[in-house]
Structure 1
Amino acid sequence: MLIHPQFDPVALSLGPVHIHWYGLTYLTAFGLFYWLAVRRAAQAPFAQAGWHRQAIEDLLFFGVMGVILGGRLGYVLFYKPAHYLAHPGEILAVWQGGMAFHGGLLGVIAAMALYARLRQRTFREVADLVAPCVPIGLAAGRLGNFVNGELWGRVTTADVPWAMVFPQSGSDLPRHPSQLYQFALEGLLLFAVLQWYGRKPRPLGRVAALFLIGYGTLRFVAEAFREPDDFLGLLALNLSMGQWLCVPMVALGALMWVTAKKDAPQPVGQEA
């Protein structure tokens, strides 16, 4: 069996200031998004609709706020509502850990909707630009989870060649390195699919719809190998909270897919 390397979570210490690997993965994710979004904004029809570097910088600011606020509030509401109701002062204590992807997704959706309204663009246009730029940042986040030795997988048999012992789990049982499964599926694979699909003009909303369907499906699969949260366990139908949260995500993606316009996207808004 493999043993988790037990990385030092602190990448760099500058006196009393400690820079953690997990924080660096967030910075990497935002940096990759910016680079990819600028390149995508230069493609037709986005460039023809007035998208430019400054617009991407503004959109990134909205997105960062959505990720942080939505991710934290999602964790509070989806995973530990009773605890935070009893300890409201801890809701903003993000340094104690606790972020939820699905909450972050809702936060980003709200941020994109606000951005679209302020810039007089359609939500689907903004979402189609954003969607292919997101998965590679998710991949960076999963590497951060692996470095921290958190969100480990379910117990498996020792004859699985890549089975790994995570000392943080409090046992020496072999487990699936589910963080790496998610890195490969929700990160690299979904990134490749969306980059391929989003390269050509598509009906407005289809690229974002594919992201929702693809992520929801791949996350649902990966969750089958991930240890459910010990304070929740498995819920109805022996599904984890993460799997149940994927169901409305896929349903929304399917709805966006079937209601997408049949013609190629023709964004009409202009950036100020």
Structure 2
Amino acid sequence: MLVHPNFNPVAFSLGPVQVHWYGITYLVAFGLFYWLATIRARQPWNAQLGWGRREVEDLLFWGVLGVILGGRIGYALFYKFDHYIEHPLEIFAVWKGGMSFHGGMLGVIVAMVLYARKNGRPWLQVTDLIAPCVPTGLASGRMGNFINGELWGRQADPSLPWAMIFPQANDQMARHPSQLYQFALEGLLLFVLLWLYARHPRKLGQVSWAFLFGYGVFRFIAEYFREPDAHLGLLALGMSMGQWLCVPMIVIGAGMWVVASRRQVQ
């Protein structure tokens, strides 16, 4: 049975300033997004729509705001509402941790809507460009979760070759390294599938809705191996909060992809 290495969350220090691994994974995520979105912007069908490096830089700025603000507010609303309603100022204490992907996604959607309106572009044209560039950032974030030894998995059969003890859980229980499952599923696999799908021109919205559906499915599966939040546990039908938040993503993503596929105009 493996034991989590219990990495030091601080990667290095610059005088009194401590640089955390989790912060580095965010920088890696934003860097990968910029690189991949620049490649996407150069594809002929995207270049014809006026996409270029400057537009990608603007998108990155708006996206960073959406991820950070949405992720933090979403965590407060979805996972610790009772706590933050009593201590609202702690919402701004981002150094204490607590980010929600679903909240971050909603934050990015709002940011892209504002960007689209500001630049006179259809909202789905914007999200179609960036959707294949997002999963690598998710993979980076899950690696940060693993390094921190947080968001560990549910109990696993000790005979499972990769079952792992997480000292941070304060028990000697063999667990699934669910962070790595999510790294592989909603990070690498979703990236490969979306990138291949978006290598050719698609109808407006198809790439965006494919991302929404794909993420919802892969996250729903991974949640079966991830330990539910202690203060929430399992909810109705034995499903976690993460799974319930994925249900509308799957339904809406599939339904809207069908609608988009019936469009007459590319």
Q: TM-score, normalised by structure 2?
A: 0.98
> Is 1:215 the counterpart of 2:215 in the alignment?
yes
In structure 1, runs of 5+ residues without a counterpart are 266-272
Structure 2 match to 1:44: 44
Structure 2 match to 1:138: 138
Structure 1 match to 2:263: 262
Query: Which structure has the highest helix share of the two?
Result: 2
In 2, Cα distance between the equivalents of 1:243 and 1:140? 21
In structure 2, runs of 5+ residues without a counterpart are none
Kindly provide the amino acid, as one letter, of the partner of residue 32 in structure 1: L
SS in 2 for 1:46: helix
- 1:49 is displaced (CA, Å) by 1.1
Kindly provide the amino acid, as one letter, of the partner of residue 220 in structure 2: F
> Is 1:7 the counterpart of 2:7 in the alignment?
yes
Structure 1 match to 2:19: 19
Change (3 A) 1:202 1:88: same
Mapping for residues 96-175 of structure 1, pairs under 5 Å: 96-175=96-175
Contact 1:202 1:264 in 2 (8 A): no
Kindly provide the amino acid, as one letter, of the partner of residue 188 in structure 1: L
Structure 2 match to 1:87: 87
In 2, Cα distance between the equivalents of 1:115 and 1:263? 26
> Is 1:183 the counterpart of 2:163 in the alignment?
no
Kindly provide the amino acid, as one letter, of the partner of residue 47 in structure 1: A
In 2, Cα distance between the equivalents of 1:59 and 1:41? 12
In 1, Cα distance between the equivalents of 2:62 and 2:198? 22
- 1:15 is displaced (CA, Å) by 1.2
Contact 1:70 1:108 in 2 (8 A): yes
Kindly provide the amino acid, as one letter, of the partner of residue 250 in structure 1: I
Alignment size in residue pairs: 265
In 1, Cα distance between the equivalents of 2:16 and 2:250? 44
- Spell out, residue by residue over 1:203-243, the C-alpha distance to the aligned partner (whole angstroms, 9 max, x if none): 11001111000000000000000000000000000000000
Kindly provide the amino acid, as one letter, of the partner of residue 186 in structure 1: E
- Spell out, residue by residue over 1:148-189, the C-alpha distance to the aligned partner (whole angstroms, 9 max, x if none): 000000011111110000000010110000000000000000
- 1:252 is displaced (CA, Å) by 1.9
Q: CA RMSD in A?
A: 0.9
